[in-house]
Amino acid sequence: MLDDDSKSKDGGKKKMPGNGFNKSQTFTLLAWAAIIALTVGLFMVRKNYASPPVPLSQSEFLTKFQSNQIAHASINLGGQSSMLTPVTGEYLETDKNGKTIKVPFVSANAYFTQKMLDQLLNPPTNVEVGAPNVMLTQMLWGVAPFLILGLLFWFFFIRQIKAAGKGALSFGKSKARMLAKDRNKTTFKDVAGVEEAMEEVSELVEFLKDPKKFQRLGGRIPKGVLMIGPPGTGKTLLAKAIAGEADAAFFSISGSDFVEMFVGVGASRVRDMFEQARKSTPCLIFIDEIDAVGRSRGHGLGGGNDEREQTLNALLVEMDGFDTQEGIIIIAATNRPDVLDPALLRPGRFDRQVTVNLPDVRGREAILKVHAKNVKLAPTVDLSIIARGTPGYSGAELANLLNEAALLAARTGKKSVEQPELEEARDKVRWGRERRSMAMSDEEKKATAWHEAGHALVSVLLKHTHPLHKVTIIPRGRALGVTMSLPKDDMLNMRRKQAIDTIIMTMAGRIAEEYVTDDISSGAAMDIQQATALAKAMVMHWGMSEKLGNVLYGEAQEYVFLGRDMMRTKDYSESTAQDIDAEVKRIVDGAFQTAKQLIEAHRDKLELVANGLLEYETLDGAQVEEIVRSGTFTPPPKPPPNPGPMLGAPAGTTLPENPPKLAPPKLPGLGTPAPAPAG
């Protein structure tokens, strides 16, 4: 169904001729063929025309005239009745094959009396008086081929170079594109989940429509607005909405468009961009990914990049320099504000920084509704459930979630997207697609089931862990099995008890696996990595260690900025480093012992969960909680017959009535994927 729809949509836009070329290519080929044929024809005609005529004397001409051999002749009298005058024309002759041909001739100095002219012209014969001047014709035939070649060169080379703006003197021209309002249909109605950011940037639109409203009290509109936030939160979409709402010129350019292979091009393009903007004031300029050109100067091993620094200097001067003019508002977007030059961030250049954060539960529901306008949803779909189950998702991930759900529904032949497709798409976007075709031995499957059962059991037993969503031994993404937990609310902070319980739950998988296999495997590698990283954060950054106290050890920077951090040494002593290592090990070992005690105390329930996973492959959180509380297990309902290649939920999975609201993963498992960012 999807393929047929896509063909019908594209069919009205571009049609390919039967020879496999599009219209532009066909026209170009025909033009070349016509020009080449015309040029060859002109040279052939010129060659034939340039063949020298046969010289005839006056007596020979008269003899051929009396013998009716003159096919055509012209006598140029020059306005006099008798004179020495040239005669040109053609006479008939038989060639070697017996075929009659016409041979051009010329009689240069013939002398005709009036009586001779009367005999030649009366009665009307093939001889006429007044031969045309052939000098102009000869010049035209001689020059025409060269004119054709010159026209060809201009049409296919000079004209296209000028049209494309790629001339030798146009490298310094700005690549900023002026966005026309009739082509940009995005408005503030298409933006959701970032109400605070939208309110701040909407002031720019109001100022452009009614500047006196702000100037009455002495206010001045910000010269620049810098939008910062994680990738996919809608910074560029917000700029498109400003362009759609503002009744002013809007220029759009990317930070990478300034820098070229030639030295000095970046600075020249900055100056040219502002020169174009001054002609259209008031106007807005949007620079996407400004960190490509606005990085801090003077950093980096071996010195900075002079070309990029010249571009940045030109941008700084144009934004707020000695000859700055009012009426140009700069809007920039980046997800790396930490690497921007301080001179670029000061008031007067970027007066306002707008943070575009990840949406909360209400924002996610609004975003889903915006993107669902183009998706055919079933009447029973409740987007609020999906919004509560997707904390930490960006707007781009939510849009991808709906698209994946539509693809899943189309693949199974459904007429609309239902709740199971949305649930499966959510898990697929976060944790990867199920790999049911992956061949696992019985031993590997049993070890995986006990491993995941350990995570699930301890997650339910502990008080400060996120609610269990479901546990599965179906390989998904890079993991052989996954234990999925979703928080009740958006997580803004990590508390100490919650961090300790998370480490305990993370270590439970290896303990349970060791019980059934009497051995340990590399499947707990990601569990150990997550537990160690969380324990280090507790000790070094969060002040959750009684021994080391509320002191920050080391910088908690996510990225290393070359030159600023590469050569930095530790800001704590070796003895403190040993204390940190010992404290991290103490936290992890304590969590390991706690997890071991819990599993030993509930060995029978662990076995029930593991056997349920071996039989049904997937259990939801409610079923695991039932096992822990009552020691009984209610089998999930049988899957419907012939479910199709991809169902929304795996076989044996039941959807909870109130699914929790996603969490930074603690998804320990055999090869569990990396955790999502908290909050």
Of residues 122 and 666, the one with the higher pLDDT is: 122
**Are residues 489 and 396 part of one domain?**
no
> How many whole angstroms separate alpha carbon 297 and alpha carbon 314?
13
Q: How many residues does the chain have?
A: 679
Given this model, what pLDDT does residue 69 score? 78
List C-alpha distances in Å: 288 to 68, 218, 273. 88, 31, 14
Mean pLDDT to the nearest integer, 151-179: 60
Q: Is residue 607 part of a domain?
A: yes
> How many whole angstroms separate alpha carbon 621 and alpha carbon 33?
73
- Going edge to edge, which strands form the sheet with 618-620? 482-485, 468-472, 618-620
CA atoms within 13 A on the CB side of 145: 14
Predicted confidence (pLDDT) per residue in 557-575, tens digit: 544 444 455 445 577 888 9
Q: Is residue 647 part of a domain?
A: no
Sign of the dihedral through C-alpha 8, 14, 16, 17: positive
Is residue 116 within 8 A of residue 77, CB to CB? The reply is no
Residue 639 has pLDDT above 60, yes or no: no
Active-site hit among 421, 424, 434, 452: 452
Q: Which of 105-109, 443-447, 591-595 has the lowest mean pLDDT?
A: 105-109
452 catalytic per annotation: yes
Helical ranges in 346-492 per DSSP H: 361-371, 383-388, 395-411, 419-431, 442-461
User: How much is the mean pLDDT over the chain?
Assistant: 75
CA atoms within 13 A on the CB side of 615: 12
**Are residues 549 and 425 part of one domain?**
no
Q: Quick one: pLDDT band at residue 586, thresholds 50, 70, 90?
A: very high
Q: Of 137, 127, 116, which Cα lies nearest the Cα of 74? A: 127
Q: Which of 387-401, 589-603, 609-623 has the highest mean pLDDT?
A: 589-603
Mean pLDDT to the nearest integer, 199-219: 80
Q: Is residue 19 part of a domain?
A: no
Q: Quick one: pLDDT band at residue 157, thresholds 50, 70, 90?
A: low
**Are residues 489 and 614 part of one domain?**
yes
Count up the domains in the chain and report the number: 4
Q: Is residue 84 part of a domain?
A: yes
CATH for 77 = 3.30.720
Mean pLDDT to the nearest integer, 600-628: 86
Residues whose CB falls within 8 Å of the CB of residue 215, separated by 6 or more in sequence, listed in order: none
Number of continuous H segments (helices) and E segments (strands) in the chain:
22, 14
Q: Quick one: pLDDT band at residue 592, thresholds 50, 70, 90?
A: very high
Predicted confidence (pLDDT) per residue in 187-205, tens digit: 788 888 888 888 888 888 8
Q: Which of 144-158, 167-181, 455-469, 477-491 has the lowest mean pLDDT?
A: 167-181
Mean pLDDT to the nearest integer, 126-147: 66
Is residue 259 within 8 A of residue 265, CB to CB? The reply is yes
**Are residues 318 and 238 part of one domain?**
yes
**Are residues 413 and 276 part of one domain?**
no
Amino acid at site 71 = A
Q: Of 565, 561, 541, which Cα lies nearest the Cα of 336? A: 561
Mean pLDDT to the nearest integer, 246-251: 78
Of residues 63 and 497, the one with the higher pLDDT is: 497
> How many whole angstroms separate alpha carbon 464 and alpha carbon 233?
30
Residue ending a domain, choose from 132, 161, 196: 132
DSSP 289: S
DSSP class per residue in 595-645: HHHHHHHTHHHHHHHHHHHHHHSEEEHHHHHHHHHHS---PPPPPPSS--S
> How many whole angstroms separate alpha carbon 119 and alpha carbon 122?
6
List C-alpha distances in Å: 61 to 57, 74, 87, 124. 6, 12, 9, 17
DSSP 326: S
Mean pLDDT to the nearest integer, 594-602: 90
Q: Of 262, 273, 260, which Cα lies nearest the Cα of 314? A: 273
Crossing angle between the packed helical segments 525-540 and 574-601, to the nearest 10 degrees: 130
- The pTM of this model reads 0.63
**Are residues 476 and 578 part of one domain?**
yes
> How many whole angstroms separate alpha carbon 329 and alpha carbon 318?
12
CATH for 450 = 1.20.58.760
Other Cβ atoms closer than 10 A to 341: 21
Other Cβ atoms closer than 10 A to 324: 14
Q: Is residue 140 part of a domain?
A: no
Q: Is residue 649 part of a domain?
A: no
Tokens standing for residue 668: 């320990």
Given this model, what pLDDT does residue 318 score? 85
> How many whole angstroms separate alpha carbon 639 and alpha carbon 651?
6
Residue ending a domain, choose from 606, 630, 654: 630
Q: Is residue 36 part of a domain?
A: no
**Are residues 332 and 454 part of one domain?**
no
Predicted confidence (pLDDT) per residue in 503-551, tens digit: 999 999 889 888 888 888 888 888 899 999 999 999 999 999 888 889 8
Amino acid at site 219 = G
Q: Quick one: pLDDT band at residue 587, thresholds 50, 70, 90?
A: very high
Residue 673 has pLDDT above 50, yes or no: no
CA atoms within 13 A on the CB side of 654: 12
> How many whole angstroms separate alpha carbon 407 and alpha carbon 97?
79
**Are residues 313 and 246 part of one domain?**
yes
Mean pLDDT to the nearest integer, 231-247: 83
Q: Which of 9-18, 323-332, 486-495 has the lowest mean pLDDT?
A: 9-18
- Structural domain boundaries enclosing 410: 361-429
Residue 422 has pLDDT above 70, yes or no: yes
CATH for 191 = 3.40.50.300
Residue 646 has pLDDT above 70, yes or no: no
**Are residues 564 and 456 part of one domain?**
yes
Q: Is residue 238 part of a domain?
A: yes
Q: Quick one: pLDDT band at residue 659, thresholds 50, 70, 90?
A: very low
**Are residues 251 and 115 part of one domain?**
no
Chain centroid offset of residue 290 CA? 16
List C-alpha distances in Å: 10 to 4, 21, 170, 183. 10, 17, 36, 20
**Are residues 502 and 622 part of one domain?**
yes
| Percent over 90 (pLDDT), the chain | 8
Residue ending a domain, choose from 412, 429, 446: 429
Query: Which element (helix H / strand E) includes 315?
Result: helix 306-319
User: Tokens 């704590």, residue?
Assistant: 572
Chain centroid offset of residue 168 CA? 29
**Are residues 622 and 474 part of one domain?**
yes
> How many whole angstroms separate alpha carbon 314 and alpha carbon 258?
11
| Percent over 70 (pLDDT), the chain | 75
Residue 677 has pLDDT above 60, yes or no: no
> How many whole angstroms separate alpha carbon 401 and alpha carbon 398?
5
CATH for 418 = 1.10.8.60
